[in-house]
Structure 1
């Protein structure tokens, strides 16, 4: 039977995850310079349009269809979203392996399709922060098309497609079913995947003009904090929604998402205080995102104390990791590598320490090291993280290089220096000329008023005379 409450929760969670992409746009948009903010917003917004169409045509099928091409990707049985309307996922099946979620009740397939679409949208959007300030819009759009098709859809199949989930005879991806690595909501498929691709593109495209000599400070910190807050809000759909039912596991994931993020903010700010002498707004926002990233794979497998530990470690380590780019000389504009790649690796590996079946008895993996499980699960987590990282890096490097050598990936120097917003979109976020004009007009009004007062005084004296 269809559980109306579970269906409503999954649809609401899909809407929350959709909100994360505009939230990410504000988070990244506030961190770039004022002359680049519209381009950054558009780089995120176009992912909604592009991936939404690809997902419908073949993306969902490649991610959740039966194994094809030796298990690299799913088949075409759901192309055009065929066999989804009026069909269901999650129906209990007989025999092993057990399905980790959503429990005994089925979901309308379309609800699950839309929920997973939002994951597919935000993953390439995350990459955009690594190459901010210097990318042609249509070249970026082409990259999203190709990378989504040959990287995200296959990796989603490896991580999220469980045997028996879309049908009694369905066969899913190797990371979930053969390796039995645990990733509740996308530490590997989303964050390590995006972070590795961001690193590859930062290397392919090279440094921004003036980096690292020029400071290139965030132009709008309130935007950054607003974006981080929207991400935090939407992340409850990302993590708790991945339980796919409105039950105890969703509550656990919601709780862990909260406490880990809180701890990560504190971890990042403490590093700033001891290292720099001041806690910053940018640090608080970045710490929150680092905690959200790290708890994503673990939120359904650890208890709240484990969640706090993961968040605290991620906040502190990611605060230190953002300096890696200066040491190695790659221009990761908005610290996608330091936050998403490093944070995703931390969260994925720490399941091997803090994971416990007492939280999720349906988990396919083993207990973590701290709960008597030995190193087995830690090894599985490391293989999953390393495999996704290498595959995404290599493919993104190849795709980026081909685009660079053919249609060109980077804007010309003049557009980069004078303003990519105007060069790529014929728009600016802020009308500085009118601000100046209004200031001049205001001064003019004061001058006119002064002349008028003087004229009145002269007339009065003349009249009295």
Structure 2
């Protein structure tokens, strides 16, 4: 065991959990209307709890067990054969389990942004559980667990997909799943209201930014110069995308918004994620600079051209950002074009098929959408019996 590596990954694990709780919850919560903010908190917190248990039961084993090229099997279910002395490289395997658990938490939690303000809580929990086990965990095995897309003998592509921290595994899968769930749900009855608390959005985005240092820097699984570079390029991409987003806003609309600024931050973070283990500072500036404009344009395409109410732009920001970062690795010569594009295609098809089936199964058990009256009243009161604010004051 390397003590420095172990200490850093303990910190990184806490940082990645911090991204979901409270970072993502606050970011999404501020973007919805006041009558739905607690429902967003409830969904993020409930998903975090349920994914933690399911990762222990089977998710970790499916992703990182010693199975075959397609899945890891159930040999490590309930951490069978793993104790405090078992190692994963230079760190305890139980710590590697915990670090990867935080990724399994945030990936289905990202999808929340697509369906807020109109979905039933029971459906959210069942869908998230099935999706993490059936869609996310196998993809994690293919890319990070030595499986189908990892390269080498028996893999689809000899070079293997280069996805350092989750452009495909996290952001592409969550983005595509978000689009599918939103399409099944249909749009909100009233799409015209602005975010109820832009300040809360900024606070959540700031927490995500800080937590992302653990997400990308921790993916090196070591306390070394490569981790330091991953952290540095992550920051530079986020900063650049923030500025290009509001510059493009200014050109198009004549104003720059706080929500736009911090949404650009998230676009830059998602885009650098797969490339953060390979690129240098100048390449990070390029990735972030393009991402701030590209992801903003995709927001309009999804809503106006595809006519899908992906409420908080999960596909445009996370999905497109992650896929863009995967492609830029090939552009800069850090990955094989065939492997990168092939990986995107394989995982894209897998995500579309599995997510569609899971939605159909879950909605057969729980109705997917709340009633029109409940949507008008707000999910905080109708689904959870609470209010975030005293409306009478």
Q: Which has the higher contact order (CA 8 A, sep 6+)?
A: 2
Q: Among 213, 235, 238, which residue is 2:212 paired with?
A: 235
Aligned position for 2:391:
432
4+ residue runs of structure 1 moved beyond 4 angstroms? none
Deviation at 1:66, TM superposition (A): 1.8
Structure 1, residues 3-50: CA drift from partner, whole Å, max 9, x if none?
Answer: 100000011100000000020010000000111111111111111110
Of the candidates 134, 137, 151, which is equivalent to residue 153 of structure 1? 137
Give the alignment's Cα RMSD to 1 decimal.
Answer: 1.1
* Counterpart position of 1:25: 25
Cα pair 1:294 1:343 within 8 Å, conserved: yes
Distance 1:394 1:422 in 2: 34
* Shift in Å, 1:350: 0.5
Q: How many residues align?
A: 384
Aligned to 2:380: 421
TM-score by length of structure 1 reads 0.81
Separation in 2 of the partners of 1:199 and 1:393? 9
Q: How many angstroms apart in 1 are the aligned matches of 2:290 and 2:125?
A: 35
Q: Which digits, 9 at most, give the CA deviation of each residue in 1:180-199, with x for residues without a partner?
A: 11000011010001000000
What is the DSSP-based 3-state SS (H/G/I as helix, E as strand, rest coil) of the residue aligned with 2:161? coil
Counterpart of 1:186?
Answer: 166
1:174 matches 2:148: yes
Give the TM-score taking structure 2 as reference length: 0.96
Deviation digits for residues 208-249 of structure 1 (CA, Å, limit 9, x no counterpart): 1134xxx12100000000000000000000000001100011
The structural deviation recorded for 1:355 is 4.3
Verify: 1:407 aligned to 2:366, yes or no: yes
Partner of 1:275: 252
Equivalent residues of 2:122, 2:366 under 8 A apart: no
Structure 1 Cα separation of the partners of residues 143 and 74 of structure 2: 18
| 1:260 counterpart = 2:237 | yes
Give the whole-Å Cα distance in 1 for the aligned partners of 2:362 and 2:128.
11
Alpha carbons 1:31, 1:334 under 8 Å: kept: yes
Q: Is the 8 A contact 1:5 1:246 kept in 2?
A: yes
| Stretches of structure 1 lacking an aligned partner (at least 5 in a row) | 91-105, 162-171, 357-365, 367-376, 436-465
Q: Distance in 2 between matches of 1:137 and 1:198?
A: 16
Structure 2 segments unaligned to the other structure (5+ residues)? none
> For the structure 1 residues 403 and 77, does the alpha-carbon distance in structure 2 shift closer, same or farther, using more than 3 Å as the test?
closer
Give the drift of 1:426: 0.3
After TM superposition, the structure 1 = structure 2 runs for residues 271-420 of structure 1, keeping only pairs within 5 Å, are 271-324=248-301, 325-356=303-334, 366=335, 377-420=336-379
